[in-house]
Structure 1
Amino acid sequence: MLCIIGLYPDIKTSQLLIPQLINHLLSIAGIWVAVWFVIRNKFSDRLKFREQEKLDALFENATEGFLITDTKGQVVLSNPSATKQFGFTKEELIGKPVEELMPKRFKSGHSHYRNSYYVNPHSRSMGSGVELFGMRKDGTEFPIEISLSSFITEEGMFVIAFIIDITERKKDEGAIAHHVEEIQNLNAHLEQLVEKRTTELAQAIIKLERTNKNLQENISEKQHAEQALKESQRIYSAIAHNFPNGIIALLDSNLNVIFIDGNELVKLNLNPSELLNRNLTSKIPINNPDFISEKLNRVLDKKQQSFEISIVEESYFVNAVPLIDLYGDVNQLLMVWLNITERKRAEEEIKNALEKEKQLNELKSRFVNMASHEFRTPLSSILSSVTLIEKYPAEAQQEKRLKHVDRIKGAVKNMNEILNDFLSLGKLEEGKIQCKPDWVELNFIIDDVLETMNGMLKQGQRININLPELSENIFTDKNLLRNILVNLLSNAIKYSPEESVIDLKILIIKSEMIIEVTDQGIGIPKEDQVHLFERFFRANNSTNIQGTGLGLNIIKRYLELLGGTITFKSEINKGSSFFIQLPKNQN
C-alpha cells in the first residue's frame, strides 16, 4: 500500500488500484483451485501420487481462505485458512449454507444474488463498492474481500469463493488516511498562499509591460514613464529581495534569467548578477534539470505548473505562470519558489514516528504474550510448592519443606531473569543506557560475576577460569561489562548438563581485551545460527528450556555501546564458544 502511494501522488487513484491488483491475482488463483478440485475428484487415478500431493499441499497451505459451494449454496470443501477465519472446524463447514457465514443483515437478500450468479457465472469481485463482512462461529464480525470464480464437472457447477481478512489493512488505511489528510491540508494552505502571491506579482509584471509599451508609443511622455517604471521596478525588487524563504525569477522564452532575487539565493550561495541572461538550469545546481525544463516549456504553452525540486539539500515548491502580453503571446514566465525543506523533514519525522510506534506496539505485544506464557510455569510451581509446604508441618519433614523452598527460589529466579531482560531491552529502546567508562580492576569484576554465578550452577557444574597473571586495570563501563559476562555465563549454565565444565578465558593483547566463554551444552543448530542475535529468537532445540530470546540481543547492543564485537562457533550436542573483542581502554 505504501509503495503504491509513493508511486502515485493521487492517493485516491492508488487506493483504487489495490483492489484491481488483488482481483487480478485472485482470478489467477481461481484457475489453479478449480484445476485442483477437478483433478482431485475426477482424474486422481491418472496422476502420479506425488503430483496429487503437490496440488493438495498448494490448496491446504494457501494463506487465503477458499470455500467451494454447490448450486444449493452449501459448502462442499474448505481449506485450513477458511476454517481459521470463521472459527469452524472443517467438518462443521461442510454442508453449511454460506448464508450462515455472514451477518444477519446480509442474509435475506443473498440467496437472490447467489441465484443470479449461477445464471451468469464469471470471475469477479463480490459486492463491488460495498463493504463486506464475515461472521465467525462466535458471532463476531470481521471485514473481508471476496472474489468468485466457477467451474463445471460431471457433478454439476461449483463456485469458488476466495476470502481475505482485511482487518489489519482497514486499521492501517485509517491511520494513513488521517496523516495524508493532515499533509494535504498543509499543502493546500501553502499552495493557496503561493498562488495568491504569484498572482499579485504576475499582475505587477503585466503592469510593467504595459508601462513599457506606453513608453514606446508616447515618446513625449518618455521621461515621466521612465520614472514610473523605475519606481515600479524598485518596489518589485524590494518585494522579491525580501520574499521570505523563497526566490522570485522572471525568465524569457529561452528560459534565460531576466530577473531573479530572494533571500534563498544567499543560502544557496548564488549571486543574482551572475545568473542574469543565463539559462536557469545551467547555472543553478538543480538535481533534475530535464524535469524542470519540461515543466517550464509547458508554461510557455500557457499552462500553469506547480511542482517540487531539490537543490543541494534544500527542497522547494515551485509555482510557474505564463505572462501573457497585450497581443496574447507568452514571451516570459514568472517563477515563485518556496522553501519546503522543513515541511519535508516534518513528513519524514511523522513517517519515522509511525514506524517507531509500530515497533514499540509490537514489542509490547510480544512482552505481554511472552510474559503470560513464561510466568505461568514458575507461578504454578510456586503455588504448588506453597500448598505442599503446608502439608509438612512436622520438624521431621524439614527436608521436604526445604525441597519445595528451593523450587520456589528457582521459580522466582526465572521470573527475575525474564523481567531483567525486558527492562534492559526497554531501556535500550528508549536510549536510556549510555556508556560511562571509569578505571576498574578486571579481577574485581570477575570476582563479582563469579559470586553471582555460583548460586546458579547446576549439580556438579563448575566454572574453569583462565585470567592474566597480573591484575589489569581497564577503562570501561563496569556495569555493562558485568552484565555481558553474567548473560554469557548464565546461558552456558542454562544450556549445559549437570557435571559439566564451563570455561571463562580472558586475554589482554596490547590495547585489546578478548573474552572467551565455552560450554559443553546442547549447541546451536546450523540453520538457526544466522538468527541468533535477533530479538526474541530461540533455537529449535531450546524451546523446552525457559528463556526470553533476548539475552544475546542485549549482549550485542551492550557491546555496540562499548565499541566491541561478538562472534561464536557451535556444534550440536558438543557445545558453544562465544568470543568477545573489546578495547582495553574505552574512549
Structure 2
Amino acid sequence: MLSDRHYKQQLNKELARFGALFDYASIGILVAGQQGEIVLINDFALHQFGYEREMLLGKKVEILIPHHVRQRHVGHREKYNANPQSRPMGIGLDLYAVHKNGNEFPVEISLSHYSNEEGNFVIAYISNITERKKVEERLEKVYSELEKMVEDRTIQLRKALEELEISKEELTVALGKEKELGDLKSRFVSMASHEFRTPLSTILSSAFLVKHYDTDKDQPVRNKHIQRIINNVSLLTDTLNDFLSVGKIEEGKIQVREIEFDIEEHFNTIIQEMQGIMKENQLIDYRHSGEQSLVLDPSLTKHIVMNLLGNAIKFSPSGSQITIETVKTPETFKLVVKDNGIGMSEEDQEHLFERFYRGGNVSNIQGTGLGLHIVQRYTEMMKGSIQCESELNKGTTFTIIFPDNHDNP
C-alpha cells in the first residue's frame, strides 16, 4: 500500500496537472458559487473580458453580462441552480457578453456543475465567436447576392426560352423541318441543366465548408472557398450570357456599332480580364503590327476574342503558351489566336461552328458548345471570315480577317 506521504505527493502532482489544464486552457473557464459569485476564473477568460483576477473574484457573474439582460439573467441563474443540468455548446442560443470597456461580443457557453463540502458550483466554458459571426454575416451576404443573381438570370433564361418559343416558326424555316427544331430546344434545356448543376453544387459545398473554418489561421482556406464561389457564379453568368446571345442573334437583336478604337489598348485590356481563369504558369504572348487604330464594333470584337482566348486557356495544359497576333493594314485587320492544346480531329472541324456541337475529345471539360457558333456569327455580322487549323494533340489556330472599308482620320 502507498504511504500517506507518497499518496499526498501523487495527489499534489494530479492537482498540479489539473491546475495546468485550467490555467492554460485555450477557452475561457469560470467557476461560480450558488449565489452567482465568481470563485475561479482562468487567464484565457480574463483576457477575453479585459479584467485582472482580483477585479472579478467574489463579484456576481452578471458583471460579465450586458446591462439590459442582467436582471433577467439572475432569474435564469436561480432557475438553473434549482435544477442544474449540463448544457453543451452550439444549442442555438444567441448569447452576448460584455468586455470591461463596455463592448459587447457574441459568445457560446457550455455549462456543467459539481458539489462538494463547500456547496454547489457551476462551471462555465466561454468561447468568443466574434470572428465566426463575421464569417456567417459575410456568407449571408454572399447567399443573398447569389440568390438575387440566380433569380435574375433565371428570369432572363425563362424569357429567352419564351422568345425562342415565339421564334419557333422562324427556326423551323431555318432548320427546314420540325424535328430539327425539337432537337434544338431539347438540347438547349438539357445543356442548361447540365451546365448549372456542377457550379451550383460547387457553390453549395464551398459555402457549407466555409462555416467550419472559423479561426484566424483558417482564413486562407476560407478565402479559397469564397473564391470558388465567386468563380462558379462567374461561370453561371458566362453560361447564361452564351444562351442569351444565341437567342438575340437569331432574332436579329444584335446591332453592329462601329467606332474607332486603339487596337493594342483594347486587346491588352481583354487579356488582363482573362487572367483570372488562366491555369498555372500559362502565358499569353500578344503581338501587334501595323496601324494602331481600327474602326469596328469593339464590343463584338471583345466577345470574339474572349471566346477564342477562353477556349485556348481551357483546352491547353498548365505551363503552355497562347499566342495572339493582330495585324492592321490599310486593307484588312487580321486576328490570330494560337494554342498548343488538345486540338481537334478533321471530323470535329467539319461541325466546329454548329450550335451546341462539342468535339469528341472534350467530354470532361465544361462548355456549352455555343462559343464558336457565336464567334462565327459575330464575325459574319462584321463582314469578316474565320478559318481554323488544328491537329489532335498539336494545338489549334484560329485566323479571322475583317476588311477595312473605312478611311481612318
Match of 2:312 in 1: 492
Kindly provide the amino acid, as one letter, of the partner of residue 393 in structure 1. Answer: D
SS of the equivalent of 1:532 reads coil
Change (3 A) 1:427 1:356: farther
Change (3 A) 1:508 1:357: same
| Aligned-residue offset at 1:385 | 0.7
Change (3 A) 1:351 1:442: closer
Match of 2:333 in 1: 513
Change (3 A) 1:359 1:351: closer
Change (3 A) 1:585 1:479: farther
SS of the equivalent of 2:335 reads strand
Structure 2, unmatched stretches of 5+, are 1-168
SS of the equivalent of 2:326 reads strand
Number of residue pairs the alignment of both structures matches? 239
Kindly provide the amino acid, as one letter, of the partner of residue 576 in structure 1. Answer: T
SS of the equivalent of 2:188 reads helix
Match of 1:474 in 2: 294
Match of 1:531 in 2: 351
Kindly provide the amino acid, as one letter, of the partner of residue 581 in structure 1. Answer: I
Change (3 A) 1:572 1:352: closer
| Aligned-residue offset at 1:393 | 0.8
| Aligned-residue offset at 1:459 | 1.2
Among all aligned residue pairs of Structure 1 and Structure 2, give the percentage whose two residues are the same amino acid: 46
Alpha-carbon distance between aligned partners in 2 of 1:576 and 1:349, rounded to the nearest angstrom: 34
User: Is it true that 1:545 corresponds to 2:377 in the alignment?
Assistant: no
Out of 262, 266, 274, which is 1:453 matched to?
A: 274
Q: If you compute each CA radius of gyration, which structure gives the higher value, 1 or 2?
A: 1
Q: How does 1:228-377 map to 2 (within 5 A)?
A: 352=173, 362-377=183-198
SS of the equivalent of 2:274 reads helix
Q: How does 1:8-27 map to 2 (within 5 A)?
A: none
Alpha-carbon distance between aligned partners in 2 of 1:352 and 1:500, rounded to the nearest angstrom: 44
Match of 1:428 in 2: 249
Kindly provide the amino acid, as one letter, of the partner of residue 228 in structure 2. Answer: R
Change (3 A) 1:387 1:428: same
Deviations 1:47-94 (A, max 9, x none): xxxxxxxxxxxxxxxxxxxxxxxxxxxxxxxxxxxxxxxxxxxxxxxx
Alpha-carbon distance between aligned partners in 2 of 1:350 and 1:410, rounded to the nearest angstrom: 34
Out of 385, 389, 397, which is 1:565 matched to?
A: 385
Match of 1:169 in 2: none
Contact (CA 8 Å) 1:513, 1:581: kept in 2 or not?
yes
| Aligned-residue offset at 1:359 | 6.1
| Aligned-residue offset at 1:446 | 0.9
Alpha-carbon distance between aligned partners in 2 of 1:385 and 1:416, rounded to the nearest angstrom: 18
Change (3 A) 1:353 1:469: closer
Deviations 1:173-194 (A, max 9, x none): xxxxxxxxxxxxxxxxxxxxxx
Alpha-carbon distance between aligned partners in 1 of 2:170 and 2:243, rounded to the nearest angstrom: 27
Contact (CA 8 Å) 2:281, 2:320: kept in 1 or not?
yes
Structure-1-length-normalised TM-score: 0.39
Contact (CA 8 Å) 1:525, 1:572: kept in 2 or not?
yes
Q: How does 1:121-136 map to 2 (within 5 A)?
A: none
| Aligned-residue offset at 1:560 | 0.7
Match of 1:46 in 2: none
Kindly provide the amino acid, as one letter, of the partner of residue 572 in structure 1. Answer: L
Contact (CA 8 Å) 2:175, 2:181: kept in 1 or not?
no
| Aligned-residue offset at 1:350 | 12
Change (3 A) 1:535 1:386: same
SS of the equivalent of 2:337 reads strand
Alpha-carbon distance between aligned partners in 1 of 2:171 and 2:299, rounded to the nearest angstrom: 35
| Aligned-residue offset at 1:369 | 0.9
Alpha-carbon distance between aligned partners in 1 of 2:258 and 2:290, rounded to the nearest angstrom: 24
Alpha-carbon distance between aligned partners in 1 of 2:214 and 2:176, rounded to the nearest angstrom: 57
SS of the equivalent of 2:348 reads helix
Of structures 1 and 2, the one scoring higher in RCO (CA 8 A, sep 6+) is 2
Alpha-carbon distance between aligned partners in 1 of 2:322 and 2:221, rounded to the nearest angstrom: 31
Alpha-carbon distance between aligned partners in 2 of 1:420 and 1:508, rounded to the nearest angstrom: 30
Change (3 A) 1:361 1:487: same
Alpha-carbon distance between aligned partners in 2 of 1:349 and 1:363, rounded to the nearest angstrom: 13
| Aligned-residue offset at 1:507 | 1.1
Change (3 A) 1:425 1:356: farther
Out of 573, 579, 582, which is 2:399 matched to?
A: 579
Kindly provide the amino acid, as one letter, of the partner of residue 491 in structure 1. Answer: N
| Aligned-residue offset at 1:360 | 5.8
Kindly provide the amino acid, as one letter, of the partner of residue 524 in structure 1. Answer: M
| Aligned-residue offset at 1:526 | 2.2
Large movers: runs of 4+ above 3 Å: 348-364
SS of the equivalent of 1:425 reads helix
Contact (CA 8 Å) 2:340, 2:396: kept in 1 or not?
yes
Change (3 A) 1:400 1:354: closer
Match of 1:397 in 2: 218
Kindly provide the amino acid, as one letter, of the partner of residue 578 in structure 1. Answer: F
Kindly provide the amino acid, as one letter, of the partner of residue 231 in structure 2. Answer: G
Change (3 A) 1:494 1:586: farther
Alpha-carbon distance between aligned partners in 2 of 1:492 and 1:560, rounded to the nearest angstrom: 21
Contact (CA 8 Å) 1:562, 1:586: kept in 2 or not?
no
| Aligned-residue offset at 1:443 | 2.2
Out of 208, 231, 238, which is 1:387 matched to?
A: 208
Deviations 1:252-275 (A, max 9, x none): xxxxxxxxxxxxxxxxxxxxxxxx
| Aligned-residue offset at 1:354 | 10
Alpha-carbon distance between aligned partners in 2 of 1:440 and 1:522, rounded to the nearest angstrom: 34
Kindly provide the amino acid, as one letter, of the partner of residue 222 in structure 2. Answer: R
Alpha-carbon distance between aligned partners in 2 of 1:578 and 1:398, rounded to the nearest angstrom: 42
Kindly provide the amino acid, as one letter, of the partner of residue 559 in structure 1. Answer: T
Structure 1, unmatched stretches of 5+, are 1-347
SS of the equivalent of 1:578 reads strand
Cα-Cα RMSD: 2.5
Alpha-carbon distance between aligned partners in 2 of 1:576 and 1:352, rounded to the nearest angstrom: 34
Contact (CA 8 Å) 1:476, 1:586: kept in 2 or not?
no
